[in-house]
Amino acid sequence: MKKAVDIDNEMKAELISRAIGAQKYSFAPYSRYNVGAAALFDSGEIYTGVNVESASFSGTICAERNAIFSAVAEGERRLIAIAIVGGTDFAREEYCVPCGACRQVMRDFADKDNMIILSAKEPDDYLEHTLDEMLPFSFGPESLD
Protein backbone atom coordinates (compact mmCIF):
# COMPACT_ATOMS: atom_id res chain seq x y z
CA MET A 1 0.00 0.00 0.00
CA LYS A 2 1.06 3.55 -0.65
CA LYS A 3 2.04 5.82 2.21
CA ALA A 4 -0.85 7.95 3.46
CA VAL A 5 -0.80 11.62 2.53
CA ASP A 6 -0.37 13.93 5.52
CA ILE A 7 -3.51 15.96 6.20
CA ASP A 8 -2.26 19.34 7.34
CA ASN A 9 -4.40 22.46 7.76
CA GLU A 10 -3.63 23.58 4.21
CA MET A 11 -4.89 20.29 2.78
CA LYS A 12 -8.01 20.44 4.97
CA ALA A 13 -8.74 23.94 3.65
CA GLU A 14 -8.19 22.72 0.08
CA LEU A 15 -10.59 19.81 0.53
CA ILE A 16 -13.26 22.06 2.03
CA SER A 17 -12.79 24.65 -0.72
CA ARG A 18 -13.15 21.93 -3.37
CA ALA A 19 -16.33 20.64 -1.68
CA ILE A 20 -17.73 24.20 -1.64
CA GLY A 21 -16.85 24.58 -5.31
CA ALA A 22 -18.61 21.33 -6.16
CA GLN A 23 -21.73 22.16 -4.15
CA LYS A 24 -22.91 24.65 -6.77
CA TYR A 25 -23.44 21.72 -9.18
CA SER A 26 -25.71 19.81 -6.80
CA PHE A 27 -29.05 18.73 -8.26
CA ALA A 28 -31.61 18.66 -5.45
CA PRO A 29 -34.92 19.99 -6.79
CA TYR A 30 -37.00 17.90 -4.35
CA SER A 31 -35.28 18.26 -0.98
CA ARG A 32 -33.48 21.51 -1.89
CA TYR A 33 -30.63 20.20 0.33
CA ASN A 34 -27.51 20.74 -1.76
CA VAL A 35 -24.33 18.85 -0.88
CA GLY A 36 -20.78 18.94 -2.19
CA ALA A 37 -17.94 16.59 -1.25
CA ALA A 38 -14.23 16.33 -1.95
CA ALA A 39 -12.44 13.03 -1.31
CA LEU A 40 -8.67 12.68 -0.97
CA PHE A 41 -7.10 9.35 -1.88
CA ASP A 42 -3.62 8.05 -1.09
CA SER A 43 -2.44 8.93 -4.60
CA GLY A 44 -2.85 12.59 -3.61
CA GLU A 45 -5.72 13.06 -6.07
CA ILE A 46 -8.92 14.80 -4.98
CA TYR A 47 -12.26 13.75 -6.45
CA THR A 48 -15.41 15.80 -6.05
CA GLY A 49 -19.04 14.80 -6.03
CA VAL A 50 -22.49 16.28 -5.51
CA ASN A 51 -25.83 14.87 -4.52
CA VAL A 52 -28.07 14.12 -7.49
CA GLU A 53 -31.74 13.57 -6.74
CA SER A 54 -34.23 11.61 -8.79
CA ALA A 55 -38.02 11.89 -8.70
CA SER A 56 -37.79 8.21 -7.75
CA PHE A 57 -35.85 8.83 -4.53
CA SER A 58 -34.21 5.39 -4.62
CA GLY A 59 -32.29 6.63 -7.67
CA THR A 60 -30.72 9.46 -5.69
CA ILE A 61 -26.98 9.45 -4.87
CA CYS A 62 -25.22 11.33 -2.11
CA ALA A 63 -22.27 13.62 -2.82
CA GLU A 64 -19.88 11.50 -0.78
CA ARG A 65 -20.61 8.28 -2.67
CA ASN A 66 -20.57 10.17 -5.95
CA ALA A 67 -17.02 11.38 -5.21
CA ILE A 68 -15.84 7.98 -3.95
CA PHE A 69 -17.34 6.03 -6.85
CA SER A 70 -15.77 8.47 -9.34
CA ALA A 71 -12.40 7.85 -7.72
CA VAL A 72 -12.85 4.08 -7.74
CA ALA A 73 -13.73 4.27 -11.45
CA GLU A 74 -10.30 5.85 -11.95
CA GLY A 75 -8.52 3.07 -10.06
CA GLU A 76 -8.34 4.57 -6.58
CA ARG A 77 -8.78 2.26 -3.61
CA ARG A 78 -7.57 3.98 -0.41
CA LEU A 79 -9.57 6.92 0.91
CA ILE A 80 -7.63 9.21 3.25
CA ALA A 81 -10.05 12.08 3.97
CA ILE A 82 -13.30 13.62 2.81
CA ALA A 83 -14.79 17.09 3.23
CA ILE A 84 -18.56 17.58 3.08
CA VAL A 85 -20.59 20.79 2.87
CA GLY A 86 -24.33 21.09 2.54
CA GLY A 87 -27.49 22.94 3.29
CA THR A 88 -30.89 23.98 2.07
CA ASP A 89 -30.80 26.06 -1.12
CA PHE A 90 -26.98 25.96 -1.20
CA ALA A 91 -26.62 27.50 2.28
CA ARG A 92 -23.96 26.18 4.64
CA GLU A 93 -25.51 27.15 7.96
CA GLU A 94 -25.01 23.79 9.66
CA TYR A 95 -22.40 21.04 9.55
CA CYS A 96 -23.33 18.37 7.01
CA VAL A 97 -22.48 14.84 8.15
CA PRO A 98 -22.50 11.69 6.01
CA CYS A 99 -25.50 9.36 6.09
CA GLY A 100 -25.14 5.74 7.16
CA ALA A 101 -24.87 4.41 3.60
CA CYS A 102 -22.02 6.82 2.84
CA ARG A 103 -20.23 5.92 6.07
CA GLN A 104 -20.40 2.25 5.11
CA VAL A 105 -18.98 2.92 1.64
CA MET A 106 -16.17 4.96 3.22
CA ARG A 107 -15.46 1.97 5.47
CA ASP A 108 -14.86 -0.23 2.42
CA PHE A 109 -12.10 2.07 1.14
CA ALA A 110 -10.52 3.52 4.29
CA ASP A 111 -8.60 2.77 7.43
CA LYS A 112 -11.38 3.44 9.94
CA ASP A 113 -9.00 4.65 12.65
CA ASN A 114 -7.15 7.18 10.49
CA MET A 115 -9.57 8.32 7.78
CA ILE A 116 -10.70 11.92 8.41
CA ILE A 117 -14.19 13.30 7.85
CA LEU A 118 -14.48 17.09 7.70
CA SER A 119 -18.04 18.37 8.11
CA ALA A 120 -17.67 22.01 7.13
CA LYS A 121 -19.33 25.35 6.66
CA GLU A 122 -16.18 27.17 5.47
CA PRO A 123 -12.46 26.30 5.16
CA ASP A 124 -11.87 27.66 8.65
CA ASP A 125 -15.14 26.41 10.21
CA TYR A 126 -15.44 22.62 10.39
CA LEU A 127 -15.82 19.59 12.63
CA GLU A 128 -13.29 16.79 12.32
CA HIS A 129 -13.89 13.13 13.12
CA THR A 130 -12.32 9.82 12.25
CA LEU A 131 -14.49 7.32 10.44
CA ASP A 132 -14.36 5.08 13.52
CA GLU A 133 -15.87 7.89 15.61
CA MET A 134 -18.74 8.22 13.13
CA LEU A 135 -19.19 4.50 12.51
CA PRO A 136 -18.24 2.58 15.66
CA PHE A 137 -18.47 -1.23 15.73
CA SER A 138 -18.40 -1.23 11.93
CA PHE A 139 -18.56 -4.11 9.51
CA GLY A 140 -15.73 -3.94 7.01
CA PRO A 141 -13.86 -5.99 4.42
CA GLU A 142 -11.87 -7.86 7.08
CA SER A 143 -15.16 -9.05 8.59
CA LEU A 144 -15.54 -11.30 5.53
CA ASP A 145 -12.13 -12.96 5.86
Please identify every residue annotated as catalytic.
64
Three-state DSSP at 99 gives: coil
> Burial of 112 by CB count in 10 Å (0-12 exposed, 13-18 middle, 19+ buried)?
middle
Sheet containing 46-50: which strands, arranged edge to edge? 46-50, 33-41, 79-88, 116-122, 125-130
What phi, psi does 36 have (nearest 5°)? Answer: -125, 145
**Cα distance between residue 143 and residue 111, in whole Å:** 14
SS3 helix, strand, coil % of the chain, rounded to 5?
30, 30, 40
